[in-house]
Amino acid sequence: MNSFSLIPEEPGHSAAIDRLNDRGFGRERFRKTVYKLRKGVPPVASLSLVALDAAGRVAGSLRFWPVAMGVEAVPALLLGPLVVDETLRGGGIGSALMRRGLDLARAQGHRAVVLVGDEPYYRRFGFERRLARDLLLPGPVDAERFLGLELASGGLEGASGMLKPAGGGRRVAATAGRAA
């Protein structure tokens, strides 16, 4: 396994992260539905992480974006992209980024995370299709890839409706629950 360290993302990492995402997902990624929720909204700075290899180069990245669920605009996080340099995949970088990011989100009082991704990969972190079943995205997506995770008990209980971007990339306020 390669040696790496996890640190908070800094402004100087942006170009390297963009290159990783270009290589991992291509420029066509901007046409995907989840990018409608990211457009014009910065990621949550306190949850943006990078993995650095032994030489100090960006080897991976994880970001979260603030979203609001349904008519009641219940706050949640949209995870992604999670990207790891293709030459370093399988070395634990992606898993380490996921675990640290989710731990930070939980510690900061966030209650729920959603993502579009491969359930067999994300299931090990607790993501499930059933938790996002009543939520909608603002465009086409393979519904079986739309997953949810409760960081706090009941964080997605009763969640339904369209996801929308939440303002400004600031820390999304934690809430005690939804009105019935």
Residue 170 falls within a domain, yes or no? no
pLDDT in tens, 5-15: 999 999 999 99
The count of structural domains within the chain is: 1
pLDDT of residue 168: 41
Q: Which of 29-38, 84-93, 115-124, 155-164 has the lowest mean pLDDT?
A: 29-38
Residue 180 falls within a domain, yes or no? no
Note whether 94 and 111 are within 8 A (CB).
no
Residue 178 buriedness (CB in 10 A; 0-12 / 13-18 / 19+): middle
- We report the CATH number of the domain holding residue 133 as 3.40.630.30
pLDDT of residue 1: 45
Please give the average per-residue pLDDT across 96-111, as a whole number: 98
Alpha-carbon distance 132 to 128, whole Å? Answer: 7
pLDDT band per the 50, 70, 90 thresholds, residue 28: confident
Q: Which domain holds residue 94?
A: 4-165
Residue 78 falls within a domain, yes or no? yes
Residue 179 falls within a domain, yes or no? no
Strand partners, 58: 52
Q: What is the dihedral of CA 100, 151, 117, 124, to 10 degrees?
A: 70
pLDDT band per the 50, 70, 90 thresholds, residue 167: low
Please give the average per-residue pLDDT across 59-84, as a whole number: 95
Residue 124 falls within a domain, yes or no? yes
Residue 173 falls within a domain, yes or no? no
What's the pTM?
0.88
Residue 152 falls within a domain, yes or no? yes
Residue 82 falls within a domain, yes or no? yes
Dmax over Cα atoms in the chain, in whole Å? 53
